[in-house]
């Protein structure tokens, strides 16, 4: 072994050792967190890794930046083999890929050259975007900006030095098997004829520059936001944002566990290891914040900031909890603190994530619409962070917006978010001859479905019309059904999303007891929140039912020809449909409402707003926001109403009673006369008399 190879081997081992140390350090920080069972369903998780991580499914949703990032990622995957070859050859000169078939090696050589050029082009465009175009979602502090430029510069340097090494090698040996690299071969042409000594010297410079850049890049990652290059694949694997199981299910909280003194999270050591891994994985790309309805309407909430703050607090507190006080100096350096202003270990431990990093105001502005999770390309689950901190605020500190207190009290006393009498739940059905489950059981009969009306459908005057419309459809189609009447109680969704897990579980267990008593198997509801909660989250408490949204059920009835329509189709209409978050992003129900409208009104023209389907914008009511005031920025429902009205539609359609209220109010705020209907009202309007 020559002296230069021995030197490089020492450098390689030192770099690998330092990288290994940092990996172990970061993994040790996760040990301060709570457990989180993310096992099971390995095939589903591997599929998510292939589609989201390797095929860049989420990244490619952005038609401009998506291909740029995907090319850089795919280029890295291809060029990694070349980097390994270079490092092995530098340590052991006898190593080569001669054991590979010539055709396979040539194919690899061509792909390496091709992706090297594509990566250079993508990096050049990335520089242009950051330095010239300045996309709003990429705007951050100077440290974040510098970090990105350093990484882009390092990537460009790796590509340039790679082409330099390849071109000089081909100039020295034009008949080499690596002549299959067409771009490198072309670059070598002007170099031929230069003195061999000069070429050998230049080759050494480019080779060492490339190797040292690789090792420096690798060891910079643990201190950079680009740590996601290492952590994104495991984070996607362990993420539940794309399954397995239903999406958007809130993490179960065992309120009866022994010796538990903390509910929810106020600091990083009260979060789970997956929450902290999310912090490592955040690319700070801002895709989550760019689609957040709260942020878009001028509020302080930024899902990106929530995750970045989690990481910053982890890097600040975890070393102290693990006894590594040497990290204090690094913390002071990063935050620009001198000796006099250096943060003491005591002060750091007295801080916490909640209040010192993330404000109460930010947390309560979230509508839990999942737009942030839908757009995140690396499997981050922002809502777990937000809901757990809300739980701490409510259960541990009794801190919540004052207007929420009457909602909590009414849900506890009356079984609904409003102070209505429970025995008034079925008043909307008077005169319609709709039986209750108790009446059917007394007669020894069993309905085909239970119609779960929900609080809005029972008490809200506008939503009562939806209840009537859907019941009329069921009666016209000859579907045997029943309601619970005064035995129905709020499903608990608002309480759970607002952090009051105790109240949620009380309501949910009461409903499960009632449904079990009547041996209910199939439930149909027109409220997406009831649909999601009973169908996807009640199983945590032992309630397992087939729950169908009324849009899907009506579509099935229409397809089976069971709904008798009037032969008069009516006039031609242009209609825009608003996607409910809990129906769409939570449960992937996008086509059923649209197909129902098309079948009910065969001469209708459907137009889509700018933000639609899984990119649709929240109406502003989710996450308990229905019961809170918007005191900052523009009202979310007004913003969404403007988007829907911009389509020029004659009529707006919804499939959620909360959306009905919010969109109707937004339309009125714009002084528009465009009517808003639930899809069941559209169908019921065409029923044969």
Q: What is the DSSP string of 367-421?
A: ----HHHHH-TT---HHHHHHHHHHIIIIIT----TTHHHHHHHHHHHSSSS---
Burial 20-47 (b: 16+ CB within 10 A, else e): eebeeebeebbebbeebebeeeeeebee
On whether the CB atoms of residues 509 and 541 are closer than 8 A, the answer is: yes
Beta bridge partners of 34: 272
| Residue 4 confidence (pLDDT) above 80 | no
Residue 152 resides in a domain: yes
Return the DSSP state at 619: -
Question: Does residue 414 share a domain with residue 381?
Answer: no
Residue 677 resides in a domain: yes
Give how many domains the chain has, as a whole number.
4
Q: How confident is the model at residue 468 (pLDDT cuts 50, 70, 90)?
A: very high
Sequence-ordered list of residues with C-beta below 8 angstroms from that of 541, at least 6 positions apart, any chain: 505, 508, 509, 512
d(CA 510, CA 441): 19
Task: Kindly report the backbone phi and psi dihedral angles of residue 15, in degrees, each rounded to the nearest multiple of 5, phi listed first.
Answer: -65, -45
* pLDDT, averaged across the chain: 90
- pLDDT tens digits, one per residue of 312-355: 999 999 999 998 766 655 555 555 444 433 457 888 888 999 99
Residue 464 resides in a domain: yes
Q: Dump strand ranges (E) for 389-539.
A: 449-452, 481-482, 522-525
Residue 606 CB-half CA count within 13 A: 18
CA distances from 517 to 345, 499, 649 (A): 57, 29, 46
SS3 450: strand
| Residue 688 confidence (pLDDT) above 80 | yes
Cα dihedral 594, 669, 614, 683 in deg (nearest 10):
-20
Q: Kindly report the CA angle at 547 between 292 and 513, in degrees rounded to 5? A: 110
Beta bridge partners of 241: 243
What's the average model confidence in pLDDT over 652-677? Answer: 97
Task: Kindly report the backbone phi and psi dihedral angles of residue 606, in degrees, each rounded to the nearest multiple of 5, phi listed first.
Answer: -90, 130
Can you give the pLDDT at residue 345? 82
d(CA 59, CA 70): 7
Q: How confident is the model at residue 224 (pLDDT cuts 50, 70, 90)?
A: confident
Question: Does residue 96 share a domain with residue 207?
Answer: yes
- pLDDT tens digits, one per residue of 510-538: 999 999 999 999 999 999 999 999 999 99
Lowest mean pLDDT, pick from 275-289, 323-337, 467-481, 666-680:
323-337
Q: Kindly report the CA angle at 31 between 26 and 34, in degrees rounded to 5? A: 130
Can you give the pLDDT at residue 342? 46
What's the average model confidence in pLDDT over 625-633? Answer: 94
On whether the CB atoms of residues 365 and 293 are closer than 8 A, the answer is: no
Q: 473 is in which domain, residue-wise?
A: 404-558
Question: Does residue 97 share a domain with residue 177?
Answer: yes
| Residue 153 confidence (pLDDT) above 60 | yes
CATH number at residue 447: 3.40.50.1860
CA distances from 190 to 167, 179, 185, 194 (A): 10, 15, 10, 9
d(CA 325, CA 450): 61
Question: Does residue 8 share a domain with residue 91?
Answer: yes
Among 396, 426, 445, the domain-final residue is 396
Residue 502 resides in a domain: yes
d(CA 682, CA 660): 13
Among 223, 254, 284, the domain-final residue is 223
Q: Dump strand ranges (E) for 419-551.
A: 449-452, 481-482, 522-525, 546-549
Residue 232 resides in a domain: no
Residue 230 resides in a domain: no
Residue 40 resides in a domain: no
> How many residues are there in the chain?
689
Beta bridge partners of 304: none
What's the average model confidence in pLDDT over 205-216? Answer: 92
Q: Centre a 10 Å sphere on the Cβ of residue 565 and count the other Cβ atoms it contains.
A: 17
d(CA 555, CA 417): 30
Question: Both tokens of residue 427?
Answer: 């008043």
Question: Does residue 431 share a domain with residue 365?
Answer: no
Q: What is the largest CA-CA distance in the chain?
A: 103
SS3 668: helix
Question: Does residue 679 share a domain with residue 586?
Answer: yes
- Nearest partner of 114 among 185, 171, 213, judged by Cα: 185
Q: What is the 3-state secondary structure (H, E, C) of 617-673?
A: CCCCCCCCHHHCCCCCCCCHHHHHHHHHHCCCCCEEEECCHHHHHHHHHHHHHCCCC
Can you give the pLDDT at residue 338? 43
d(CA 630, CA 662): 12
Question: Does residue 623 share a domain with residue 579?
Answer: yes
Question: Does residue 159 share a domain with residue 18?
Answer: yes
Question: Does residue 163 share a domain with residue 22?
Answer: yes
Neighbour-count burial of 572, counting CB atoms closer than 10 A to its CB (0-12 exposed, 13-18 middle, 19+ buried): exposed
Q: How confident is the model at residue 365 (pLDDT cuts 50, 70, 90)?
A: very high
pTM: 0.91
- The structure tokens 């922002």 sit at 382
Residue 551 resides in a domain: yes
Q: Kindly report the CA angle at 532 between 485 and 367, in degrees rounded to 5? A: 110
**pLDDT over 70 for what percent of the chain?**
93
Can you give the pLDDT at residue 238? 96
CATH number at residue 666: 3.40.50
Question: Does residue 143 share a domain with residue 187?
Answer: yes
On whether the CB atoms of residues 214 and 250 are closer than 8 A, the answer is: no
- Nearest partner of 89 among 165, 199, 194, judged by Cα: 165
On whether the CB atoms of residues 534 and 571 are closer than 8 A, the answer is: no
d(CA 552, CA 172): 69
Question: Does residue 582 share a domain with residue 537?
Answer: no
Q: How confident is the model at residue 399 (pLDDT cuts 50, 70, 90)?
A: very high
Question: Does residue 132 share a domain with residue 16?
Answer: yes
Burial 440-476 (b: 16+ CB within 10 A, else e): bbeeeeebebbbbbbbbbbbbeebbbbbbbbbbbbeb
Among 363, 396, 429, the domain-final residue is 396
Q: Centre a 10 Å sphere on the Cβ of residue 73 and count the other Cβ atoms it contains.
A: 19
d(CA 301, CA 293): 9
| Residue 309 confidence (pLDDT) above 90 | yes
Lowest mean pLDDT, pick from 216-220, 256-260, 605-609:
256-260
């Amino acid at each position: 072994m020559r002296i230069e190879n021995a030197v490089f081997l020492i450098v390689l081992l030192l770099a690998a050792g330092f990288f290994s140390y940092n990996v172990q350090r970061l993994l040790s920080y996760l040990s301060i967190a709570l457990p989180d069972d993310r096992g099971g369903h390995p095939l589903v998780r591997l599929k998510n890794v292939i589609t989201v991580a390797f095929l860049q499914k989420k990244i490619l949703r952005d038609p401009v930046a998506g291909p740029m990032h995907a090319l850089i990622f795919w280029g890295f995957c291809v060029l990694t083999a070349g980097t390994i070859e270079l490092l092995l050859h530098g340590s052991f000169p006898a190593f080569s890929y001669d054991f590979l078939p010539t055709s396979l090696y040539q194919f690899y050589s061509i792909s390496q050259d091709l992706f090297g050029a594509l990566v250079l082009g993508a990096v050049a465009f990335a520089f242009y975007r950051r330095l010239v175009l300045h996309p709003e979602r990429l705007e951050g502090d100077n440290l974040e900006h510098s970090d990105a430029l350093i990484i882009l510069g390092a990537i460009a340097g790796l590509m340039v030095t790679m082409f330099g090494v390849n071109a000089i090698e081909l100039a020295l040996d034009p008949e080499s098997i690596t002549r299959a690299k067409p771009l490198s071969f072309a670059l070598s042409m002007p170099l031929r004829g230069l003195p061999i000594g000069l070429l050998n010297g230049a080759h050494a410079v480019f080779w060492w520059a490339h190797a040292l850049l690789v090792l420096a890049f690798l060891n910079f990652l643990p201190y950079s936001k680009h740590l996601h290059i290492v952590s994104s694949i495991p984070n996607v694997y362990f993420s539940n944002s794309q399954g397995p199981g239903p999406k958007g299910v809130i993490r179960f909280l065992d309120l009866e566990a022994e010796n538990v003194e903390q509910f929810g999270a106020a600091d990083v050591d009260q979060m789970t290891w997956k929450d902290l891994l999310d912090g490592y994985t955040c690319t700070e790309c801002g895709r989550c914040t760019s689609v957040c309805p709260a942020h878009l309407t001028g509020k302080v909430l930024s899902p990106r900031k929530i995750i970045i703050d989690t990481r910053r607090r982890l890097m600040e507190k975890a070393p102290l909890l693990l006894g590594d006080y040497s990290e204090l100096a690094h913390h002071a350096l990063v935050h620009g603190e001198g000796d006099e202003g250096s943060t003491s270990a005591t002060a750091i431990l007295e801080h916490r994530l909640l209040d010192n990093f993330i404000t109460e105001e930010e947390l309560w502005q979230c509508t839990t619409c999942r737009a942030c999770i839908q757009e995140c390309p690396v499997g981050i689950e922002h809502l777990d962070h937000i809901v757990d901190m809300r739980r701490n605020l409510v259960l541990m500190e009794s801190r919540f917006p004052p207007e929420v207190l009457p909602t909590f009290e009414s849900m506890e006393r009356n079984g609904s978010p409003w102070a209505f009498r429970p025995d008034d739940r079925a008043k909307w059905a008077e005169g319609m001859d709709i039986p209750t489950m108790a009446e059917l059981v007394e007669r020894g009969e069993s309905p085909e479905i239970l119609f779960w009306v929900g609080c809005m459908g029972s008490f809200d005057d506008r939503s009562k019309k939806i209840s009537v419309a859907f019941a009329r459809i069921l009666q016209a189609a000859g579907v045997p059904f029943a309601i619970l009447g005064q035995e129905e109680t709020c499903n608990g969704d608002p309480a759970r999303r607002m952090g009051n897990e105790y109240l949620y579980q009380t309501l949910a267990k009461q409903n499960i007891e009632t449904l079990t008593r009547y041996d209910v198997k199939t439930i149909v509801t027109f409220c997406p929140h009831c649909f999601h909660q009973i169908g996807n989250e009640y199983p945590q408490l032992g309630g397992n039912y087939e729950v169908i949204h009324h849009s899907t059920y009506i579509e099935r009835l229409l397809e089976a020809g069971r709904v008798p329509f009037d032969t008069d189709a009516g006039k031609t209409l242009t209609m825009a449909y608003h996607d409910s978050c809990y129906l769409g992003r939570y449960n992937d129900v996008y086509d059923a409402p649209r197909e129902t409208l098309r079948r009910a009104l065969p001469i209708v023209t459907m137009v889509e707003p700018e933000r639609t389907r899984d990119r649709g914008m929240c109406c502003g009511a989710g996450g308990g926001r229905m019961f809170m005031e918007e005191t900052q920025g523009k009202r979310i429902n007004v913003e969404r109403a403007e988007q829907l009205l911009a389509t020029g539609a004659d009529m707006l359609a919804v499939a959620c009673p909360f959306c009905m209220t919010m969109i109707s109010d937004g339309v009125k705020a714009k002084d528009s006369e465009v009517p808003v209907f639930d899809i069941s009202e559209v169908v019921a309007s065409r029923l044969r008399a």
